[in-house]
Amino acid sequence: MSVPQHLLVPTDFSPYAEDALAYAIALARALRARVTLLHVISAMYWATGEMPGALSASLMEELESVAQQSLEQAFQRVRAAGLEGEVVVLHGSPFEGIVSAARDQGVDLIVMGSHGRTGLPHLLLGSVAERVVRLAPCPVLVTRTTPPAA
């Protein structure tokens, strides 16, 4: 097994994903690896278009623009750490997009956050991280943020 040289960091821009990005940056610095940030525009948005099951062109452009801007802003942290890489925006199922990007980009390691859902929320929403772990073409490192005590 070789040392990872290309990390994929999927993000939904949540605090969990932000923590995973911080971990990935530290790891990439230590490994001198490149970082690809990924956001998958979820198929769940597709039901909000003008026609059932389809996004209007203007809404699609807006979602892509916001995702691209947010990724570029997050990528500034990668650049500030002296690392190279790129940002990618895809459409569809998050876990399928992550697995597909890992294959297409030839990454050595996926670093992603987990929302840590359990019980009914996990049953209803599933776990993107769990599916990625099962289907990814490379190792997956899942970080978990401990929510603050109430």
Query: 114: pLDDT confidence band, cut at 50, 70 and 90?
Result: confident
| pLDDT higher than threshold 80 for residue 139 | yes
Domains of the chain: 6-144 (3.40.50.620)
**Torsion sign over Cα 140, 8, 70, 74:** positive
* Spatial distance between the Cα atoms of 126 and 11, rounded to a whole number of angstroms: 17
Q: Which tens digits make up the pLDDT trace of 57-86?
A: 778 788 899 999 999 999 999 999 999 999
Helices (H), the chain: 15-31, 57-80, 94-105, 119-125, 128-135
Check residue 121 and report its DSSP letter: H
